[in-house]
Structure 1
Amino acid sequence: MSGRVLSTDQAKSAIQQVQSIINGGLADQIARLDSQGKVLSDPNVWDGPLAQQFRDQIWPETKSALDKAKTELDQLREQLQKIAQNIMAAGGA
């Protein structure tokens, strides 16, 4: 492992942009998708062969992917905080 420490304005900017994307609504959009998927999964709202396929196969797979994405975004948010602190500590403030 190298002893090199580099902190550029580009690194700081990239961290800020990723944080902005996550905090600026990506997690909210995932929650909104989840909410609408639940609506479509209700047979009192939508029923029939395609609706049944949606409820039984499409939505559960999609819901699982959305849950995983949200978990990974939360982990990324935590890592970005650590990275930002490291950049500042390296003299990139």
Structure 2
Amino acid sequence: MSGRVLSSEQAKTAITQLQNIINGGLTDQINALNTQGQTLSQPDVWDGPLAETFRSSTWPETKAALDKAKQELEELRDQLQKISQNIMSAGGGA
């Protein structure tokens, strides 16, 4: 493991951009997708052969992927502050 520590302006910009994307509504968009998928999954809203396929396989698989993505984004958001502090410390900005 190298003893080198580097903190570039590009690193600081990247962490800020990550924070802005996550905090700027990406998780809200995932929630909106989940809401609309749940709506389409209701037989009294949409029914028929394609709707049955959607309810039985398409939506459950998609919802699982969205839930996993949301969980990972929340974990990343929790780590972003620590990452930001580490970048600032490495650059002498702490």
TM class by shorter-chain length?
over 0.9
Structure 1 residue aligned with 2:27? 27
Structure 2 residue aligned with 1:87? 87
Q: Which runs of 5 or more residues in structure 2 are unaligned?
A: none
1:7-57 residue CA offsets vs partner (Å, 9 max, x unmatched): 011100000001100110100000000000000000000000000000000
**TM-score, length basis structure 2:** 0.95
Counterparts in 2 of 1:51 and 1:40: CA distance versus 1, 3 Å:
same
- Kindly state the Cα deviation for residue 66 of structure 1 after the two structures are TM-superposed: 0.4
Structure 2 residue aligned with 1:62? 62
Q: CA RMSD in A?
A: 1.0
Q: If each structure's helix is expressed as a fraction of its own residues, which one has the higher value? A: 1
Q: Does structure 2 retain, via aligned residues, the 8 Å contact 1:41–1:54?
A: yes
Q: Which runs of 5 or more residues in structure 1 are unaligned?
A: none
Using the alignment, how far apart are the partners of 1:15 and 1:3 within structure 2?
A: 22
- Kindly state the Cα deviation for residue 77 of structure 1 after the two structures are TM-superposed: 1.0
- Size of the aligned set, in residue pairs, is 93
Structure 2 residue aligned with 1:15? 15
Q: Post-superposition, which runs of at least 4 consecutive aligned residues in structure 1 deviate over 2 A?
A: none
Question: Counterparts of 1:34-73 in structure 2 under 5 Å?
Answer: 34-73=34-73
